[in-house]
Amino acid sequence: MNRLKVLFAEPDPMLCRIYEQLIDDLSGYRSAGSAGSGPELRAALEREPVNLVFLDIALPDLKGLEGFLQMRSAFNRSDFIILSSERDPETVRGAICSGAFDYLIKPFDWKRLKRALDAYGDYHNGLTGRTRPWRQEDLDRLLGFRERLFESKGTPKGFQESVLQAVAQVLAEAGDPLSAAEVGRHLGISRSCARRYLELLLDRGEISLKFRPTTVGRPEKRYFSSHFRCQKEA
For residue 155, what is the DSSP state?
P
Q: Is residue 17 part of a domain?
A: yes
Using only the alpha carbons of the chain, give its radius of gyration.
19
Question: Are 142 and 172 found together in one domain?
Answer: no
Question: Are 12 and 58 found together in one domain?
Answer: yes
Q: Is residue 53 part of a domain?
A: yes
Question: Are 119 and 218 found together in one domain?
Answer: no
Reported as a pLDDT band with limits 50, 70 and 90, residue 103 is: very high
Average pLDDT over the chain, rounded to an integer = 84
pLDDT at 89: 83
Question: Are 14 and 68 found together in one domain?
Answer: yes
Q: Is residue 156 part of a domain?
A: no
Q: Is residue 70 part of a domain?
A: yes
Q: pTM for the complete prediction?
A: 0.63
Q: Is residue 16 part of a domain?
A: yes
Domain end, chosen from 150, 183, 211, is at 150
Q: Is residue 155 part of a domain?
A: no
Q: Distances in Å between the alpha carbon of 196 and those of 22, 218, 219?
A: 14, 19, 19
Question: Are 174 and 135 found together in one domain?
Answer: no
**Where does 49-144 have alpha helices with state H?**
64-74, 89-97, 110-128, 136-142
Segment 155-208, tens digit of pLDDT = 567 888 888 888 988 998 887 899 999 999 999 999 999 998 898 888 777 788
* CA nearest to 12, candidates 110, 78, 85, 99: 85
Question: Are 191 and 80 found together in one domain?
Answer: no
Question: Are 146 and 173 found together in one domain?
Answer: no
